[in-house]
Amino acid sequence: MTTDLQVKKFGYVFTWFDQNGDGWLTRDDFEKIAGLFTALADENDQKNKTAMHKAFMYWWSVLLQASENTPGEKIGLEEFIRIMNASVIAPENFENAVGGIADGLIGALDRDGNGSLSREEYVRMYDALGVPPATSTEAFKRLDRDGSGQLSYAEFRQAIVEFYLSADPHAPGNWLLGSMEAFQ
């Protein structure tokens, strides 16, 4: 069962993914958001670009397969929330969609290969994805659970899992994209 908190978070993700702002998600929206993510990788980093694009297209295919005959292959907000709850957050789909994006993203941004992101890397990443630096700076502080000044792969993955799956309003992962007040 989807909690009110998850509905709020899924609604924010829907708005973020709705790249043309028409109130519908389409394959074109997913191609565009995938393009924003893949643009974060170095020009020659085909491995992580491919991983992120593949994960976004997998997510889109899960949405389409679970849709209830939406005309023109469009997914509206209510249907998106229903499908997120019924299909996308199911373990087998969550890992291939959301987890695949996270893995490609960390691989693309961890340029020094230390398995973590600095605050600057994290803020730069979300700035390029449309999240204001003030928001992502505060989020980084909350997600850096050990206070090391680095967001480890494990901390990043934990934040993603909490953002999508946790019903706890105090879970640090709820800050993945900023304050919950922003999701109004």
The residues spanned by each domain of the chain are: 4-183
- In the numeric block, the tokens 């989807």 are attached to 2
Structure tokens at 162: 């909490």
Structure tokens at 124: 């730069």
What's the pTM value of the predicted model, to 2 decimals?
Answer: 0.90
pLDDT of residue 182: 59
- Per the prediction, the chain carries an average pLDDT of 90
pLDDT of residue 183: 53
Q: Given a cut of 60, is residue 34 above it in pLDDT?
A: yes
What is the dotted CATH code of the domain comprising 4-183? 1.10.238.10
Q: How far is CA 74 from CA 61, 116, 138, in A?
A: 12, 36, 34
The 10s digit of each residue's pLDDT in 99-154 is 999 999 989 988 888 889 999 888 888 888 888 888 889 999 999 999 999 999 99
Structure tokens at 1: 């069962």
DSSP assigned state of 41: S
pLDDT of residue 60: 95
Give the separation between CA 125 and CA 117, rounded to whole angstroms.
10
For residue 3, give the 3-state DSSP assignment.
coil
For residue 176, give the 3-state DSSP assignment.
coil
Structure tokens at 8: 């709020």
Give the separation between CA 97 and CA 95, rounded to whole angstroms.
6
Mean local confidence (pLDDT), 57-82 = 88
pLDDT of residue 115: 86
Give the separation between CA 85 and CA 142, rounded to whole angstroms.
26
